[in-house]
Structure 1
């Protein structure tokens, strides 16, 4: 009889599988990755990109939704044409949306209610963090907002992949996720991101993010992501201990450095943008 593996052994095995080239994606995620490769081609034209996106109805709907969000539609003129939407957003944002589709579909479809609940909450958390990261980048850390949104989209991608392997390892979703936070998140997250050819500069920022130290005042891309994590109203289900969110700072500490009035103003001004963008990101 095969010996039962503890969670740390499971995480190590999953990371080893990835390192050996065995990155098993659901069909939907594989198609999205092919689309990403096409969009990464510098010779990919606007009309070709639009046709590729239209071939994936879910992505096409999100591209239109983001283009019509408060952040990208200052004029209030709504559009329904994918090519015009791509022109409005630019390829960098579209690539982020493709990666969002990869992340969301990576976990696959399970008949286990516990699994589905975790995936749904993890994606709601991801969408909120991605939206907040862009706002924080523009108003607080002055980092590139598009890169910040991309970082927010991929910051839990290791968790989605871990959930996709849950059926192979009985007991993986039982209990809390302390071993995931302490051991598995960085190990599997980095392995997945490297396999997806995420730029090294973004990987370096993710390494700092996984360390979990938010510098005050926040300045870097990692700080941007960590602050977005602190401010999101939807916590990650993989960062829960006995029903409580793990590692969150007191709001008072953030207010002390940024300034209560400044933080309040930023969040109030950005509330509509964050709500619109996070809703549009909901695959």
Structure 2
């Protein structure tokens, strides 16, 4: 089977809903669906978190991280207190991060595993940047921006998880078949994960849209975050670097001093979240 046939097979499987999730993700998926229900009771959420030991441990770790315990409050030692401290939105972000990370957990090839780790580092930096750009520039909901950034490369993670089955899948790709296949896979994986339509639309339009001036949407937020992420996706076409001193349309919205402040704040946000998300 040649590479084009391989991409066609994976895309066709995705469109038929044949997305293969690691078994360890099942509890996280149940929790994701439950949290989407506006009537979800906290007792149900706690029960589902406890059903996945890794998620339970990360929930407690996140509650004790600098991102949620900046005032040095008492250390949280149980899931109930952790869920109460971080809230449902942050729990959704944590669940999403667990799901995308688990795609890489079954990769055997060390070169592919390295690509999965780079993709996760890229994702985490984009998430931190998206949250800060949402707060400081686009004024969209920062929790939504953070969540969207966490799942924006889910198609890439899924392709990496299939690379062991298809040697050569991630070889040099001048025809850009990887990204075409990833777009199909990403759409179907997000549907299976019940990602909200507004988030799906922003992610699906990332590669084909220009940023609005002034940037004011979730899509603009993700475009900004990807543009300034210090770690690039290993699956993306390399865009030419922005000249440091060249004026752009963005300069009329965000001066250099403010941009420097935003990037530093995002770096700090990355460090605050990394202990809970990157383990």
Match of 2:256 in 1: 260
- Structure 2 residue runs without a partner (length 5+): none
Question: Deviation at 1:254?
Answer: 7.3
Match of 2:207 in 1: 210
3-state SS of 1:168 partner = coil
Match of 1:271 among 260, 267, 271: 267
Match of 1:132 in 2: 129
TM-score, normalisation: structure 1: 0.87
- Is the CA contact 2:104–2:113 (under 8 Å) kept in the aligned structure 1? no
Match of 2:26 in 1: 30
- Give a deviation string over 1:4-40, Cα, whole Å, max 9, x none: 3224x43332121122121111111233212322333
Match of 2:101 in 1: 104
Q: CA–CA distance in 2 between the matches of 1:224 and 1:181?
A: 24
Task: Count how many residue pairs are aligned between Structure 1 and Structure 2.
Answer: 275
* 1:16 and 2:12 are equivalent in the alignment: yes
TM-score, normalisation: structure 2: 0.88
* 1:281 and 2:277 are equivalent in the alignment: yes
Name which of structure 1's ranges 51-60 and 256-265 shifts more when overlaid on structure 2: 51-60
Q: Could you say what the CA RMSD is over the residues aligned between the two structures, in angstroms?
A: 2.3
Match of 1:84 in 2: 81
- Give a deviation string over 1:110-148, Cα, whole Å, max 9, x none: 221111111111111111111221111111111101100
Question: Deviation at 1:176?
Answer: 4.7
Question: Deviation at 1:42?
Answer: 4.0
Seen in structure 2, the aligned counterparts of structure 1 residues 141 and 251 have a Cα distance that, compared at 3 Å, is farther
Match of 1:57 among 38, 41, 53: 53
- Is the CA contact 1:64–1:85 (under 8 Å) kept in the aligned structure 2? yes
* 1:223 and 2:215 are equivalent in the alignment: no
- Structure 1 residue runs without a partner (length 5+): none
Question: Deviation at 1:180?
Answer: 4.6
Seen in structure 2, the aligned counterparts of structure 1 residues 231 and 62 have a Cα distance that, compared at 3 Å, is farther
Q: CA–CA distance in 2 between the matches of 1:57 and 1:106?
A: 17
- Is the CA contact 1:193–1:203 (under 8 Å) kept in the aligned structure 2? yes
3-state SS of 1:238 partner = coil
Match of 1:144 in 2: 141
